[in-house]
Amino acid sequence: MRLISALLLCVISCMPSFGLDKTTEIYDVAGSDTLRLDFYRAATPEPAPVMIFAFGGGFKGGERDNSSYMPMFEYMTRNGVAVVSVDYRTLLKDIPAQEMMTPDKFKANLISAIDAATTDFLKATGYVVSKSSEWNINPSQIFACGSSAGAITVLQAEYSLCNDKIYYAGMGLPDDFNYAGVISMAGAICSDGAPRWDTTPCPMLLFHGDADSIVPFVSATLGDFGLWGSLTISDILTEQQQPHRFHCFNGASHEIAGTPMDENRGEILDFIRAACSTGLNRTTKTTEEIPGNTDYKKDFTIIDYIKANL
């Protein structure tokens, strides 16, 4: 018994201690879904920038407090950036696979799921704005960050703010609100026709692998409708002379939804600091190559993406 107790004590003492100052609150109730968020306070006496994070999970699941996110959250708070990790509705979890197998059904269900997630994320953002004084955060330095489905959600939230402010006027956001920046890890924008921003979008940091079979790197289209990936977003931002940062991983697939949280934390922090201080006034494009990895599939059809997401 003493040996077991000693071993348990050893295991507990060897577990990583992230030292996160966490507060959990309910920010909305949507039907049968009670939506919560976790606030992680930054280690600074000054009003801090804040990164609102949306988890991944294919709009079918996911956890705002998944243990794999904690090292990044700890890194950000230790370096003066508060973090808010939010729930959002995952509407595809209740859709049978047969209701997703044709392009038209996939499109209809995906649009509904993205709309719900985007609405929830914007409501969470409004809640964060309302808590800025209590939480000692700077409401003009709110960043949206997401992984996979969460990356689609944050890109869509920014796209909606720039193109459909009237619809989202009831989210508790100031009339002139915009994010200070968006950080997308394997994300895309859902729209009829290639994305166009009616008002100036915030700075963006885009991570994506060009062999992603889950979320399109370029696009997945059905008529005019499409999911427009990071390469297309970057090309259009460049055409419109909108500064942004695009980090492409040649030969990488959907793992880029997660690896930047471990391998590119410094790049994310630098983006946040630059946007908060001097602002971003140039476009930076970075490409990583895996030596010898040249024979890989990167051209996927809409059917390929549907099958990969069932």
Q: Is residue 10 part of a domain?
A: no
In whole angstroms, give the CA distance from residue 193 to residue 221. Answer: 9
Q: Which residues form the domain of 216?
A: 19-308
Read off the pLDDT of residues 127-148 as tens digits, 9 standing for 90 and up: 999 999 999 999 999 999 999 9
- Residue-level pLDDT at 291: 77
Assess whether pLDDT exceeds 90 at residue 306. Answer: no
Q: Is residue 5 part of a domain?
A: no
In whole angstroms, give the CA distance from residue 254 to residue 186. Answer: 7
Computed from CA positions of residues 244, 245, 249, 255, in that sequence, does the dihedral angle turn out positive or negative? negative
Look at 12-21, 143-152, 221-230 and tell me which has the smallest mean pLDDT. 12-21
- Residue-level pLDDT at 237: 97
- Residue-level pLDDT at 15: 36
The CATH number given to whatever domain includes residue 265 is 3.40.50.1820
Q: Look-up: residue for tokens 């695009």?
A: 246
- Higher per-residue confidence, 304 vs 37: 37
Q: Is residue 6 part of a domain?
A: no
Q: Is residue 157 part of a domain?
A: yes
195: its two tokens = 């994305």
- Residue-level pLDDT at 207: 99
- Residue-level pLDDT at 170: 76
- Kindly state the average pLDDT of the residues 8-31: 69
What mean pLDDT value characterizes the chain?
91
- Kindly state the average pLDDT of the residues 286-296: 85
Assess whether pLDDT exceeds 60 at residue 251. Answer: yes
Q: Is residue 13 part of a domain?
A: no
Number of domains in the chain: 1
- Kindly state the average pLDDT of the residues 58-76: 97
Q: Is residue 277 part of a domain?
A: yes
Cβ(244)–Cβ(234) under 8 Å? yes
Q: Is residue 12 part of a domain?
A: no
- Kindly state the average pLDDT of the residues 24-37: 96
Assess whether pLDDT exceeds 90 at residue 123. Answer: yes
- Kindly state the average pLDDT of the residues 205-233: 96
In whole angstroms, give the CA distance from residue 128 to residue 126. Answer: 5
52, amino acid identity: I
If pLDDT is split at 50, 70 and 90, which confidence band does 175 have?
confident
Look at 146-150, 154-158, 165-169 and tell me which has the smallest mean pLDDT. 165-169
- Residue-level pLDDT at 290: 77
If pLDDT is split at 50, 70 and 90, which confidence band does 18 have?
low
Cβ(186)–Cβ(215) under 8 Å? yes
Q: Is residue 49 part of a domain?
A: yes
Strand order in the sheet with 33-40: 22-30, 33-40, 82-86, 48-54, 137-147, 181-185, 204-209, 245-250, 284-289
Q: Look-up: residue for tokens 């990164």?
A: 51
- Kindly state the average pLDDT of the residues 234-246: 96
